Amino acid sequence: MKITLTVNGSRRELEVDDRRLLADVLREELGLTGTKVGCSHGVCGSCTVHVDGRAVRSCIMLAVQADGRAVRTVEDLAAPDGTLHPLQQAFSEEHALQCGFCTPGFLMTALPAVEAGAPLDAGQARELVSGNICRCTGYDGIVGAVVRASAICAGAAASGAEAER
Amino acid sequence: MKPSPVTYHAPATVAEAVGLLAEHGDDAKVLGGGQSLLPLMNLRLAAPARLVDVTRIDGLGAIERRDGAFELGAAVRQAQAEDDAALAAACPLLAAALPHIAHREIRNAGTVCGSLAHGDAAAELPAVALALDAELVVHGPRGVRTVAADGFFRSFLETALEPDELLAVVRLPVAPPGSGAAFHELARRAGDFAIAGVGAQLTMRDGTVTEARVACIGVGAAPVRARAAEQALAGGRADERTIAQAARAAAAELEPSEDLHASAAFRRHAAETLMRRALHEAAARAESNGREAS
Ligand SMILES: Cc1cc2nc3c(=O)[nH]c(=O)nc-3n(C[C@H](O)[C@H](O)[C@H](O)COP(=O)(O)OP(=O)(O)OC[C@H]3O[C@@H](n4cnc5c(N)ncnc54)[C@H](O)[C@@H]3O)c2cc1C
Ligand code: FES
Ligand code: FES
């Protein structure tokens, strides 16, 4: 079927086999290999991307189901000059990754709450990423990174509001 | 792991969807959010030749209040229901149950009607529908029929739906004023399917229970309405003793099965404990909602 996706802001027209998973189309047709496929049945979270602003698992969604929608992947997080998103920066500073396979999924899962601009405590951060599996880190660094990034984004939101006044 | 070849249809109307199901019979399957179906297709445990996506049908994406009930169409995502404040106030048991389903990323795609149609015995929403006496509006080649939740959930992944029918709308009755609800479950990890779970909605007036609705999950081939507990509670006070008695009576009637995760005796014990907790919390919320209303 012929589909149109807006991927990281640019409109892409694609001819895909109906059975193709969104994860595979992103990785193989569009070369966006940041999105990882770990389990293929919705339990590990490594394939998490945003469809119309909501985090979903691209391994249990057909590409045709996303026809006409906006898809955002981990490749969209860093600025064009390579400056990391505050959430990515926090992952680096808190040692929240080792092999990195799970990282894009964790980033895309945590992003909506982090960007919402309210600081999260450790319990909230843990709950937020509880659907994602990491075999390396033991999670403490990840939780720390989400807490740190949420505080930074909340601070930015507050000072933005301050500046507007 | 990839699905086997399939043809995807995205009908714009219920009539078109029903036409496709009638034409293709057993080869076709309704596709909701795909959060149960796609894992099965990836594992090749399901291999439908055609998928009829009902989430793009006009008019089925709405949550609407009509005649003392909230109607949720087949395209309504679980997260959309979770975020609807009016719905949460009117159907507190639904609001209590939704956060227990998997994780937000799954609920962003999974539909309310899809969970009901799938009919997993450990799923939360079938128990909500059962406890609330929900009505399910089913469309098929033989016309439209309204099915009561009591009788809809038959056995493991088996419902009253025929293969060529689609669940277009679920109608959830609005709780009377002074109602409160709670959903408690036991799972190995947050977001996993429950080993056992209990949903309870109580309505209180001047300290007396005027209506009790209780259902259990994970303790049989389908969700189980805890009538014994409801009867023990109705007309009395929701005190420690009555709640303990109600939970004991309901647990005694359960016939849970044994599997890898838990023995039958453990499941019955868990259901009784969870029911006590759910009833206490529902009663406290009902009382505070009652105070706010008066
Ligand atoms: C990792 C993971 C964890 C999960 N944990 C839980 C959990 O704890 N509790 C829980 O309840 N669920 C859980 N789920 C399942 C989830 O809630 C699904 O969204 C739900 O069971 C099915 O809804 P869906 O819209 O995704 O349906 P689909 O997957 O699209 O369909 C499921 C079945 O229902 C049929 N169907 C769907 N919609 C209709 C309709 N309108 N009319 C007729 N037939 C229809 C389909 O043909 C299919 O047979 C989990 C899923 C995953 C991947
Ligand atoms: S690869 Fe999608 S959840 Fe594991
Ligand atoms: S860093 Fe290796 S799986 Fe998480």
Interface pTM (ipTM) of the complex? 0.95
- Looking at the fold, whether A72 and A120 belong to one and the same domain comes out as no
pLDDT at B292: 75
pLDDT tens for chain B, residues 1 to 294 = 699 999 999 999 999 999 999 999 899 999 999 999 999 999 999 999 999 999 999 999 999 999 999 999 999 999 999 999 999 999 999 999 999 999 999 999 999 999 999 999 999 999 999 999 999 999 999 999 999 999 999 999 999 999 999 999 999 999 999 999 999 999 988 788 899 999 999 999 999 999 999 999 999 999 999 999 999 999 999 999 999 999 999 999 999 988 888 999 999 999 999 999 999 999 999 999 888 766
pLDDT at residue B294, rounded to an integer: 65
Same domain, A100 and A62: no
For ligand 1, whether the C-beta of B34 sits within 6 Å is: yes
Q: Is residue A81 part of a domain?
A: no
Last residue of some domain: A76, A97, A119?
Answer: A76
The answer to whether residue A108 sits within a structural domain is yes
**Cα distance from B51 to chain A (closest Cα, Å)?**
10
- Cβ A95 under 6 angstroms from ligand 3: no
For A113, A122, B227, the CA distances from A153, given in Å and listed in that order, are 10, 16, 50
Q: Which atom of ligand 2 is nearest to the CA of A39?
A: 4
Using a CB–CB cut-off of 8 Å, the residues of B that contact A are 1-8, 10, 31, 34-35, 38-39, 42-43, 51, 53, 55, 79, 102-106, 108-109, 189-191
Atom of ligand 2 lying closest to residue A43 CA: 3
Q: Token pair for residue B294? A: 């008066």
Q: What residue of B is the nearest CA neighbor of A130?
A: B190
pLDDT of residue B21: 97
Centre of ligand 1 to C-alpha A73, Å, is: 24
Q: Is the dihedral of CA B32, B27, B155, B120 positive or negative?
A: negative
Who contacts A135 (Cβ-Cβ below 8 Å, separation ≥6)? A99, A101, A102
**CATH number where A135 lies:** 1.10.150.120
Per-residue model confidence (pLDDT) at position A156:
84
Report the pLDDT value the prediction gives residue A55, as an integer from 0 to 100: 98
Q: Which pLDDT score is estimated for B25?
A: 86
Q: What pLDDT, on the 0 to 100 scale, is given for residue B259?
A: 87
Assign A164 a pLDDT band (cuts: 50, 70, 90).
low
A161 pLDDT above the threshold of 80: no
Delineate the domains of chain B, giving CATH numbers in brackets. Answer: 7-52 (3.30.43.10), 63-173 (3.30.465.10), 179-288 (3.30.390.50)
Q: Whole-model pTM?
A: 0.96
A134 lines ligand 3 (CB under 6 A): yes
User: Is A109 within 8 Å of chain B by CB?
Assistant: yes
Helix (H) or strand (E) holding B25: none
Instruction: Quick: pLDDT tens for A24-73.
Output: 999 999 999 999 999 999 999 999 999 999 999 999 999 999 999 999 99
Q: For residue B199, give the H/E element and its range.
A: strand B196-205
For A10, the 3-state DSSP assignment is strand
CA dihedral over B166, B222, B79, A29, signed as positive or negative: negative
Of A35, A54, A76, the residue at which a domain comes to its end is: A76
Looking at residue A15, what is its pLDDT? 98
Predicted pLDDT at A157: 79
Residue A61 covered by a domain: yes
> DSSP secondary structure string, A45-112?
-TTEEEETTEEEEGGGSBGGGGTTSEEE-GGGTS-TT-PPPHHHHHHHHTT--SS-SSHHHHHHHHHH
Total tally of structural domains belonging to chain A: 2
- B81: tokens are 């229901």
Q: Which of B211, B66, B205, B55 is nearest to B133 (CA)?
A: B211
| CA–CA separation, B169 and B111 (whole Å) | 11
Q: Is the pLDDT of residue A165 over 70?
A: no
The token pair at A17 is: 């086999």
CB neighbour class for B220 (10 Å; exposed up to 12, middle 13-18, buried from 19): middle
Mean pLDDT across chain A: 96
A160 within domain boundaries: yes
Q: Identify whether residues A69 and A132 lie together within a single domain.
A: no
- Terminal C-alpha separation, chain A: 50
Q: How far apart are CA A151 and CA A121, in angstroms?
A: 9
- Could you tell me if A97 and A132 lie in one domain? yes
Whether A98 and A140 share a structural domain: yes
Which of helix, strand or coil describes residue A154?
helix
Q: What is the pLDDT of residue A158?
A: 81
Supply the range of the domain harboring residue A50: 2-76
End of a domain among A49, A76, A103?
A76
The CATH number of whichever domain residue A65 belongs to comes to 3.10.20.30
Q: Are A91 and A71 members of one domain?
A: no
Q: How many CB atoms lie within 10 A of CB A100?
A: 12
